[in-house]
Structure 1
């Protein structure tokens, strides 16, 4: 316990001493998803609101270490598709998505000497999702537990039950505008490269519906809900595209505030930090 208290005091001291190197970031914008239930790789037609809160540490005038928590919703529906095989599949999903990431952000120009600068960033993140839908009676159904493609069944040993928490690779860029040394605004676009194809619960082929429970079979293929109903295409027919993982992306606007406290002052022209020293008498 004493060690934990000592560590906390040390950490707070370091933060207080270097406070002017920290920037608090508040972001708001929209998110969207790319996968089997969306015809286009990028579109804002079905974008959902997204918010984020983070902290940046200024390593140099142009290089920042940035951590961030993001909250959003994702979803898509075959009813919006123009592809016939998707329309008759008639699937849909929604999910709440939460993400924590850590990225390196690099300004192409020095934002202390240039008011408007482009920047890029990349890093690693951890996100959690849980796709769900509603059945014909309006009941919410979480799809992972229903194993709609036969995941985990002995008949399909190559189909494992997917995890709801994964690692991703965030990459992106934007333009940053300095309103003052302490306040900056930015607009950025970012993409999350994923290592799963089950963000939407759709990936491979249709299983034998007789091997699934009744509710799982009902939500594995929903063409029979259409008017007129479309017959089940049969076991082995393509349900998704296993050769390409899903993805999601953001268009965000950011306001950053540099913490003004600490025992250092900043040269506003160069952006370099100097320790407080007594004036030199000539």
Structure 2
């Protein structure tokens, strides 16, 4: 009986694995989408030390975001699909990140009164795992008296990778925005054996996406991405208040801009949470164009190689 169960399990596993392979590769349409240009745009949400829930913040959680802190991002990239199941994408993104204690109902953080913004650039390389795809080229034209088949071009995928984020946090004082890193608001570069924090950090994206064809060359889709970073200073807040004398007016303000309950924010008191690194999310739309050579295409159908040529007026 046990041998029979093992045999049946192997048969089911074999059908699942090779069934997936057949589903992806029997028409070889994935090879017609090997090279793609990508643009995307949408919204960002910063998840750091500022703002958040009324009670204790939840690290790396959607529940700890502030809708008014939403900002924008835009991305351009190039995707190379090297198998039915996997592709890789190189991209550069411009994004805005923002956080403020004014958006929380937590009395301590409200009184702390910290705010930041930064324009940032992210350079990333990611690997995409195509979980599901329905890719089939249909008829280019509808012939009278026949059923029109426009074809299908859909994908559901997960992705991760590595990136580098360039950021530069700023704070507002008397209506003017100032760069915060040179000020050393937590004593960086002013206290012995300390130095200013780096304005670069590595990032690791984790995301899910779905896209579908709107023509033979174009796909439209959606992506949701969480970015883990290795810096706790994207918002210029990490450790404790410091006792530093001789500071100018601007540095003094940004070191401790508390408006109420100043006795909660004395030297040595907690200013941020250094145990948890900053993170951010993006959610947006994607537009993808097939960049495969338009003059000549190759498609394998039932083991035969068919050469598809394009005349000057064709859009395929």
Query: Normalised by the shorter chain, which TM-score bucket?
Result: 0.7 to 0.9
Partner residue of 1:26 out of 25, 29, 39: 39
Deviation at 1:160, TM superposition (A): 3.8
Is 1:248 matched up with 2:280? yes
- Asked whether the 8 Å contact 1:263–1:276 carries over to 2, the reply is no
Question: How far off is 1:218 after superposition?
Answer: 1.3
TM-score, normalised on structure 2?
Answer: 0.73
Output the CA distance in 2 between the equivalents of 1:69 and 1:273: 39
Say whether residues 1:124 and 2:154 are aligned partners. no
Is the 1:105–1:119 Cα contact (8 Å) retained in structure 2? yes
Give, in whole Å, the separation in 1 of the partners of 2:164 and 2:300: 36
- Asked if the contact 1:149/1:206 (under 8 Å) is kept, the reply is yes
Equivalent pairs counted in the alignment come to 254
Provide the C-alpha distance between the structure 2 equivalents of 1:245 and 1:212, rounded to a whole number of angstroms: 28
Structure 2 residue matching 1:88: 3-state secondary structure: helix
2:48 to 25, 35, 39: 35
Segments of 4+ moved more than 4 angstroms: 272-277
TM-score by length of 1: 0.81
Question: 2:300 and 2:96 mapped to 1: Cα distance?
Answer: 40
Task: Name the structure 2 match of 1:85.
Answer: 108
Structure 1 distance, partners of 2:183, 2:301, is 60
How many angstroms apart in 1 are the aligned matches of 2:199 and 2:127? 26
Aligned mates of 1:252, 1:207 — CA distance in 2: 40
Match of residue 205 from structure 1: 240
**Match for residue 182 of structure 2 among 145, 152, 156:** 145
**Which residue of structure 2 lines up, in the alignment, with residue 194 of structure 1?**
229
Q: Tell whether 2:271 aligns with 1:218.
A: no
Q: Which has the larger radius of gyration?
A: 2
- Is the contact between residue 150 and residue 212 of structure 1 (CA under 8 Å) also seen in structure 2? no
Structure 1, unpaired ranges of 5+: 1-17, 278-282
Residue 54 of structure 1 is matched in structure 2 by 77
